[in-house]
Amino acid sequence: MAIYRYGDRLPRVGQNSFVSDTSIVIGDVLIGDNCYIGHGSILRGDYGSIRIGDGTAIEENALLHIRPDGLLELEEKVTVGHGAMIHGKLIKSYAVIGIGAIIGFDVVVGSWSIIAEGCVVPRGNEIPDEKIAAGTPYKIIGNTLERHKKFWTYGKQLYIDLAKEYPDKFERIG
C-alpha cells in the first residue's frame, strides 16, 4: 500500500480493504472496511480530513481532496468513478459519482443520487436524495429508479468482492 504520514496525520485502513500500491493515501484519511481504493487514485488528507465509509469504491485515477481543516465524508457504499475529482463536503450512502465528474467544494450529494459521467457540480450546491444530475454545470434530469438501485447494488458488491480477492490474485510478474 502507498500510505503516507503527513506530520502527525496518519491514514488508517479498515479490514478487508484493498489499497493499490499505485494509489497515494496521505495524512488524515480513514478508509472503512471492505473498500476498494483503485490504481492511481489519490486521497489527500494532508491539511484536511477524509472519511471513507464501509463498502465504498474509489476507482482508478480518482482524486479526493479537501481544504485546510475541512472534512470530506463519503458514507457507506459510495461509488466514485474513474478519474472523478471530489472536493465536496458530503457524499451520502449509495451515491454514484460518474467517470470524470467534478464535485466542487462544499457540495453535498444525496443518498442514492447519481452524478453522470463528466458532470460538474460547482461549489456549494446540494443534490437531493435519489436524483440524477448531468451536464456542465449540472441539472437534475430525473429520479433514481428501482432499476438504477438494482444495477448499482450489483456494481457495488462487485467492488466489495474485488477488494477481498485482490490480495490473493494480484501479483506483479514483471
CATH number, domain with residue 67: 2.160.10.10
In the chain, alpha helices (H): 146-169
Decide if 52 is inside a domain. yes
What does the pLDDT look like over 98-139, one tens digit per residue? Answer: 999 999 999 999 999 999 999 999 999 999 999 999 999 999
pLDDT reading at 166 higher than 80: yes
Decide if 129 is inside a domain. yes
Residue with cell 481504493: 37
Q: Tell me the C-alpha distance between 102 and 39, whole Å.
A: 19
Domain count for the chain, please give it. 1
Neighbours of 104 (CB within 10 A): 17
> Residue 172's pLDDT is what?
85
Q: How many residues does the chain have?
A: 174
What does the pLDDT look like over 26-72, one tens digit per residue? Answer: 999 999 999 999 999 999 999 999 999 999 999 999 999 999 999 99
Decide if 53 is inside a domain. yes
Domain that holds residue 134: 3-169
Decide if 174 is inside a domain. no
> Residue 1's pLDDT is what?
67
